[in-house]
Amino acid sequence: MAIKNLRAYENLHIVFWLVKDACWVMDFKIPGLIMIFPTVLVAIHISWLHRKSIAELYHNLAIVCWISANSIWMIGEFFFDDTLRPISIVFFSLGILLVAIFYLYIQPRQKKLD
């Protein structure tokens, strides 16, 4: 996928994400649930497309974690009296861990090699 098309794809992903979160805030349960799938799947696909760039990969995997955490939290609020929040925290923490590994370990090593 050419970078111009990839950028458009990433922008479409943002639209999916905003629609999912808008459904959440407006308490549209079924549309919100439906929007989880394209939002998460496109985030995973974007991560795959960026797999050759370690910086892009780590950041996009963190986004996958963020959207997954966000989606679990939404499901918990919709159907489980907000009891899934601890599971969301695991995914948020994993996303933070990925970014921390990149900035504290990978990026400094890359700079030393340059």
Cα separation of 33 and 113, whole Å?
Answer: 45
For 19-43, what is each residue's pLDDT tens digit? 999 999 999 999 999 999 999 999 9
CA-CA-CA-CA dihedral for 68, 69, 70, 71, to nearest 10: 50
For 48-104, what is each residue's pLDDT tens digit? 999 999 999 999 999 999 999 999 999 999 999 999 999 999 999 999 999 999 999
Residue 111: pLDDT band (50, 70, 90) is confident
Handedness of CA 95, 97, 100, 106 (dihedral sign): negative
Q: Burial, 25: exposed, middle or buried (Cβ in 10 Å; 0-12, 13-18, 19+)? A: exposed
